[in-house]
């Protein structure tokens, strides 16, 4: 059922994440069934599919956010840079430092712009004022927010516009210097202009980071991603990976009938 | 909309509006009445002089110090315990038999009349622990009395912090305590401070519980083990014994002003803290 073509196009790039026979359960509910694929570094991968097919659940496996759900249980293996992240002795804090996450809504902390960004590095034991200042400046510059906020770093971040807040959230993620950035429908609350600018930013960031996005918008997947993973639920409502291919190839020449139905809008 | 429904709507609006206005009016009337009778009494010497001849003459300085002292003791003891319990209930445990017992105890404490706390304080702190009538006994008794308020308001404030902020914190690689101390508590600060303010107000205003535990001497207290009379007790005795209604109103006016000042002051501080925070 799982196809893994297309990796050869990106074969120069090393594998960042290797997902092998992943099964996820919430209590007795089988949420993800036998998901396997490989993500190359410094690419943008889009996970698409209908609502409730487990896209977010899959994304949250990469930084072990599912650990927060007491009933969640994972079988199979995911390797980051060859290291299994679900091994019994795996370092979850270290993993989350390497795999950052940007959420759906701009969830800034109700504190100053500076504190929003400094919080992550501080959690990892960095308290040197000068270094923190540098990190704040660099992170804000990476998301093109520095010029707009450099004179009001100590003002409340909730005063920023929605797009600025989401940029701040991305900067906050970058501040802990991750390798991988997970974006869970991070554009869904933005207007079209803002979406275009955030997508531009994603393309820029992909030169340095490995980015995995969950999106409802097939246009967005087509615009920004190198690879696309199409998910669907099987007859038992468990999410599974139907097709994984270079995005352009999937949209022009889908291998699976279900993929074709979905991207041509015949699903549902 | 039919005329009948519209009439009903208008009637409901009218009744609700009347209820709100009458509550406001009562409050304003009480405050204005006390201030109008009490403010003329308040002067520099009223604030700085020790009461003489049972409070008929002189000022009320020792009772101001008494109120301040028992309140500080109560807050210093109850706030750390209260917030700690709230954090435990909201963050560190799932609903279970134990949390139900803790919550039930807190609710029960909240329902006990303050005179019963006074009696308990008198028997336990004053007599059994031999602390005597003292600021410490009074403060400890008040601490027990306000603990449920601090716990409940703090727990509500902590639970009110959106869950997603915790997720964000974890996603940045923070551990549980870092998430609680750096994200959850600062985000809940406004609600927590409101609970503490409410408690301060209750401490300053409490009469029965402190009269039985801190005593009612008019001497200026000089240590935590010294007895003291608070403003509220002073007011009660002045009015009850018919010593000086004038000075009673002066004390009451000051009480109202103090509580008002604490509320306004804390809100200003909080705003500054929220915007700066660097």
DSSP A176-233: T--SEEEEESTTTTS-HHHHHHHHHHHHHHTTTSEEEEE-S-HHHHHHH-SEEEEEEE
Which CATH number is associated with domain A15-263? 3.40.50.300
- pLDDT on residue B273: 65
Residues in B touching A70 (Cβ below 8 Å): 94
Tokens of B172: 């940045």
Residue A93 and residue B183: Cβ atoms within 8 Å? no
Residue A110 and residue B274: Cβ atoms within 8 Å? yes
What ipTM is given for this predicted complex? 0.87
DSSP B126-139: IIIS---SSHHHHH
Give the residue carrying structure tokens 């703090």. Answer: B154
- pLDDT on residue A9: 45
pLDDT tops 50 at residue A184: yes
pLDDT in tens, B226-270: 999 999 999 999 988 888 888 999 999 999 898 888 888 888 877
pLDDT in tens, B50-92: 888 888 888 888 999 999 999 999 999 999 999 999 999 999 8
| CA-based nearest distance A155→chain B, Å | 5
What residue of B is the nearest CA neighbor of A178? Answer: B172
Going B84 to B95 to B188 to B198, the CA torsion angle's sign is negative
Asked if the C-beta of A152 comes within 8 angstroms of chain B's C-beta atoms, the answer is no
pLDDT tops 70 at residue A3: no
The domain spans of chain A are: 15-263
> Rounded mean pLDDT of A233-255?
90
Q: Are B141 and B213 in contact (CB under 8 A)?
A: yes
> Rounded mean pLDDT of B185-209?
90
Residue A107 and residue B164: Cβ atoms within 8 Å? yes
CA–CA gap between residue A93 and residue B173 (Å, rounded):
5
pLDDT tops 60 at residue B275: no
pLDDT in tens, B100-159: 888 888 888 888 999 999 999 999 999 999 998 999 999 999 999 999 999 999 999 999
What residue of B is the nearest CA neighbor of A133? Answer: B278
- pLDDT on residue B5: 86
pLDDT tops 50 at residue A6: no
- pLDDT on residue A72: 92
The helix or strand, by DSSP H or E, that contains position B58, with its residue range, turns out to be: strand B57-58
pLDDT in tens, A63-100: 999 988 889 999 999 999 989 999 888 899 999 999 99
When the pLDDT of each residue in chain A is averaged and rounded to a whole number, the result is 88
């Amino acid at each position: 059922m799982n196809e893994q073509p297309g990796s050869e196009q990106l074969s120069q790039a090393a594998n960042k994440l290797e997902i092998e026979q992943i099964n996820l359960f919430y209590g007795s509910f089988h949420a993800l069934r036998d998901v396997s694929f490989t993500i190359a570094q410094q690419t943008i991968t889009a996970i698409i599919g209908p609502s409730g097919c487990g896209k977010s659940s899959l994304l949250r496996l990469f930084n072990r956010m599912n650990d927060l759900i007491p009933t969640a249980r994972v079988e199979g293996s995911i390797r980051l840079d060859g290291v299994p992240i679900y091994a019994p002795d795996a370092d979850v804090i270290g993993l989350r430092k390497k795999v950052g996450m940007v959420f759906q809504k701009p969830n800034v902390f109700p504190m100053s712009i500076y504190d929003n960004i400094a919080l992550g590095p501080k959690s990892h034991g960095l308290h040197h004022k000068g270094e923190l200042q540098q990190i704040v400046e660099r992170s804000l510059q990476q998301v093109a927010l520095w010029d707009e906020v450099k004179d009001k770093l100590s003002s409340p971040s909730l005063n920023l516009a929605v797009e600025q807040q989401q940029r701040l959230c991305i900067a906050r993620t970058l501040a802990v210097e991750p390798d991988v950035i997970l974006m869970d429908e991070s554009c869904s609350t933005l207007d079209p202009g803002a979406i275009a600018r955030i997508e531009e930013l994603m393309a820029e960031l992909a030169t340095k980071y490995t980015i995995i996005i969950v999106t409802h918008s097939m246009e967005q997947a087509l615009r920004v991603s190198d690879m696309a993973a199409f998910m669907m639920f099987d007859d038992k409502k468990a999410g599974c990976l139907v097709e994984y291919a270079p995005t352009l190839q999937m949209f022009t020449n889908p291998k699976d009938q279900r993929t074709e139905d979905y991207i041509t809008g015949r699903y549902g | 909309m039919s005329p009948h429904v519209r009439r009903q709507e208008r009637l409901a609006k009218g009744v609700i509006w009347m209820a709100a206005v009458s509550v406001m009016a009562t409050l304003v009337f009480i405050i204005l009445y006390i201030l109008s009778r009490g403010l003329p009494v308040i002067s520099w010497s009223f604030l700085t002089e020790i009461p003489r001849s049972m409070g008929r003459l002189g000022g009320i300085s020792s009772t101001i110090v008494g109120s301040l002292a028992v309140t500080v003791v109560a807050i210093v003891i109850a706030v750390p315990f209260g917030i700690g319990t709230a954090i435990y209930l909201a963050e560190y445990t799932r609903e279970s038999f134990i949390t139900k017992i803790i919550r039930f105890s807190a609710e029960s404490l909240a329902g006990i009349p303050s005179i019963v706390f006074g009696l308990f304080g008198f028997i336990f702190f004053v007599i059994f622990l031999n602390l005597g009538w003292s600021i410490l006994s009074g403060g400890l008794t008040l601490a027990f009395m306000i603990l449920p308020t601090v716990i409940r308001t703090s727990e509500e404030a902590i639970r009110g912090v959106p869950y997603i902020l915790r997720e964000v914190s974890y996603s940045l690689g923070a551990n549980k305590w870092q998430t609680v101390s750096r994200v959850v508590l600062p985000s809940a600060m406004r609600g927590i401070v409101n609970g503490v303010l409410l408690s301060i107000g209750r401490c300053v205003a409490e009469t029965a519980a402190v009269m039985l535990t801190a005593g009612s001497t008019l001497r200026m207290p000089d240590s935590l083990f010294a007895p003291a009379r608070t403003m509220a007790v002073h007011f009660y005795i002045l009015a009850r014994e018919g010593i000086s209604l004038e000075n009673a109103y002066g004390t009451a006016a000051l009480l109202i002003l103090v509580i008002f000042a604490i509320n306004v002051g804390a809100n200003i501080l909080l705003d500054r803290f929220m915007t700066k925070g660097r």
